[in-house]
Amino acid sequence: MSDLPVVEVLSTEAAEVNASVIWLHGLGADGNDFVPVVPQLNLPQEYAVRFVFPTAPSIPVTINNGYVMPAWYDILRLDNVRSIDEAGLRESAANTQALIRRELDRSIASERVILAGFSQGGAVCFEAGLSFDRRLGGIIALSTYFPTADSIAMQPVQQGLPALVCHGLMDPMVPELLGRAAKESLEENGLTPEYHTYPMAHEVCMPEIERIGRWIRSVLGS
């Protein structure tokens, strides 16, 4: 059982919850960061989705001079390779998988659980989602990278899993080439991800949010 604090938001109060999106924030943020996005997704009433926004533990972050902040794992060096605490990332992935199981215990089918993550959160979602032992609904990866692509214990049940990968063309924190590399790694692992770029920095934009809403509808409506 995950002991991560979470914020929960329902896409509608009009129907019994029938799907879940577990959405992980980026470095230094918290579970409230993406709450305002939920109404902007414009999900129809019949898509009664529970959005689960966990907050990462506060730990010292090496690239920020050891400053303590919410982080899914430590980042040791910031470059196009990314030196990270892989054990810490996997611990966060295990906590995320515990949140998935919590949704299953709340009568949500695994195929209707979507993982979403921004930056660090997206890296954790790749590890957590692709190594989970039951088929999921999909992964949304925003302005992120795939640091465990070469070491992940990929579960065959996730072959062909839908994935939406979005990145800013002017991202100074996570260069767009890392987003493209993540997309290629997903393809090598048997997925066929959608990949979209936007004229933005390390952030999200309204056209991207609108696309996420359409993508969620397509996954949950299939």
Residues classed as catalytic: 119, 171, 202
Looking at the chain, the number of H-run helices and the number of E-run strands are 5, 11
The label of the residue with tokens 């794992």 reads 73
| CA pair distance 173, 222, nearest whole angstrom | 35
Instruction: Residue 178: count other Cβ atoms within 10 Å of its Cβ.
Output: 21
CA nearest neighbour of 117 among 66, 170, 172, 182: 182
Paired tokens of 122: 């997206």
Cα–Cα dist 95/12, whole Å: 27
How far apart are alpha carbons 96 and 46 in whole angstroms?
A: 26
